[in-house]
Structure 1
Amino acid sequence: MAAASSLFRFIIIVIFTSLVSSNELLSRKKRYLVFPEGSSLSIAICMTAQTGITPGEIFTEGINWGISYELPNDTKPFKELLDKPKEVMQRRHRRELYTKIETIMRSMGYNGRDCVLRALCEASRLKPKGESLVDEILRIVFRYPEYNIGDEGSQVQYNTPAKKRIKFKEECCELFPGCPFSLIDLALGYYSTFNHFDL
């Protein structure tokens, strides 16, 4: 029994001294989150308002918008993007979102480009700290930095609305007349007749 105990101590001492004396750094490859093929993230915005056409107001009108993003299933594109600044990546995602909003607005018969540019312009008038969660989300999504980062090519057009509003002191609806309504005001519920009733 004593021999087994001393053999165990000897093995522990050898392992410990080899670990302490070794200056070799152990490393492991970076791990990435990968989703199965065909995975997507869907976001739906649903707005409902009472119609007010009946005394009991049992009928409602609903407007639903949905956006779907494909989730990554390959890590190779991310390795080359790790060298880019965080601001460049955020702008790329915002540009993709703005392009999708433009497509939605165009399919509804509106000038999608003017509606997005008007929303970017109007976001510059939102208060620094949102009054509500929706206000804060809109401020973050439609706040586009006023300075250029590196070589953005033709995508610079998205950072001009706030500059135009500050420079010319005009209203956004006058700067972008191709969009008859405000996406920001629509999302905040200012077009809802329910908000105009005196309770």
Structure 2
Amino acid sequence: MALRKQFILAASVMVALMMIGSSTSQMDDLDLTVLSRKARYALFPDSSTMGLYLAVAVPLEDASYDVSVSWNFEATYQLPSNYTELILPFVLASASRSERQFNRRSAYRIVEKRFKSYGLKGRECLLRTICEAAESPLLHNGLFGDILHIIFTPSSSADENLHPVYSAAEERGRSGKDCRSSYPRCPVGLLDTIAPFED
């Protein structure tokens, strides 16, 4: 019985090999041409965008409500829908470094616009914030405190040819002068809205 199974298995293998051999000889008769094409890239449908979103929320101290104040920052970028829109290495070669770079001047312009969008005096409130950041440094308040310190301390970076009022506001805060009375047209300080962390 075992011999019969071995014979059937051997016969099946031989038939399979003959079929493979006949099919490859038929393929040799065909004229095979190698097709090639350029590499393809995945693009996006028309009007596609990608967004980065950052929200900083500060809870308000009220036991009866669960309310927080939030600042939202959003950046939206158009995605390419056509191969001709791609520029490798994805930066504009014609733009100079100063045009591509995010610096303190552009950060202050954004902060001033944000204050104005809330109906406040943009420049005046920015100067008060710089003064308050110098008056009470935020160095030991984690990553968020470090970021605020870097942004609102003009002397923390190389000279960027900023208007002298920014340095004057920082010096006013360092010398202990009252920032609220120095900038009376700004009723609210940005740093007043952040509750201090206590152990």
For the structure 1 residues 51 and 176, does the alpha-carbon distance in structure 2 shift closer, same or farther, using more than 3 Å as the test? same
- Matches for 1:40-119 after TM superposition, within 5 Å: 40-52=51-63, 57=64, 59-70=65-76, 74-76=90-92, 80-81=96-97, 89=101, 92=103, 94-119=104-129
**Structure 2 spans left out of the alignment, 5+ residues:** 1-47, 80-89
- Bigger radius of gyration, 1 or 2? 2
Question: TM-score normalized by structure 1?
Answer: 0.54
Contact 1:126 1:139 in 2 (8 A): no
For the structure 1 residues 158 and 50, does the alpha-carbon distance in structure 2 shift closer, same or farther, using more than 3 Å as the test? closer
C-alpha distance in structure 2 between counterparts of 1:77 and 1:63, whole Å: 41
Contact 1:138 1:184 in 2 (8 A): no
> Per the alignment, in what secondary structure is the counterpart of residue 180 of structure 1?
coil
Contact 1:146 1:163 in 2 (8 A): no
CA deviation after TM superposition for structure 1 residue 155, in Å: 4.5
Q: Which runs of 4+ in 1 moved over 6 A?
A: none
The aligned counterpart of 1:138 is: 148
C-alpha distance in structure 2 between counterparts of 1:175 and 1:40, whole Å: 39
> How many residues align structurally?
141
C-alpha distance in structure 2 between counterparts of 1:156 and 1:146, whole Å: 15
CA deviation after TM superposition for structure 1 residue 118, in Å: 0.8
CA deviation after TM superposition for structure 1 residue 143, in Å: 1.4
CA deviation after TM superposition for structure 1 residue 77, in Å: 5.7
Is 1:126 the counterpart of 2:131 in the alignment? no
Is 1:182 the counterpart of 2:189 in the alignment? yes
The aligned counterpart of 1:17 is: none
Which amino acid in the other structure matches residue 39 of structure 1?
M
Contact 1:111 1:179 in 2 (8 A): yes
CA deviation after TM superposition for structure 1 residue 169, in Å: 4.9
Question: TM-score normalized by structure 2?
Answer: 0.54
CA deviation after TM superposition for structure 1 residue 108, in Å: 1.6
1:11-32 deviation digits (Å, cap 9, x = unpaired): xxxxxxxxxxxxxxxxxxxxxx
For the structure 1 residues 169 and 46, does the alpha-carbon distance in structure 2 shift closer, same or farther, using more than 3 Å as the test? closer
For the structure 1 residues 128 and 116, does the alpha-carbon distance in structure 2 shift closer, same or farther, using more than 3 Å as the test? closer
Q: 1:171 aligns with which of 170, 173, 178?
A: 178
CA deviation after TM superposition for structure 1 residue 109, in Å: 1.8
> Per the alignment, in what secondary structure is the counterpart of residue 181 of structure 1?
coil
Which amino acid in the other structure matches residue 167 of structure 2?
N
Is 1:158 the counterpart of 2:166 in the alignment? yes
Contact 2:133 2:173 in 1 (8 A): no
**Structure 1 spans left out of the alignment, 5+ residues:** 1-36
Identity %: 21
The aligned counterpart of 2:24 is: none
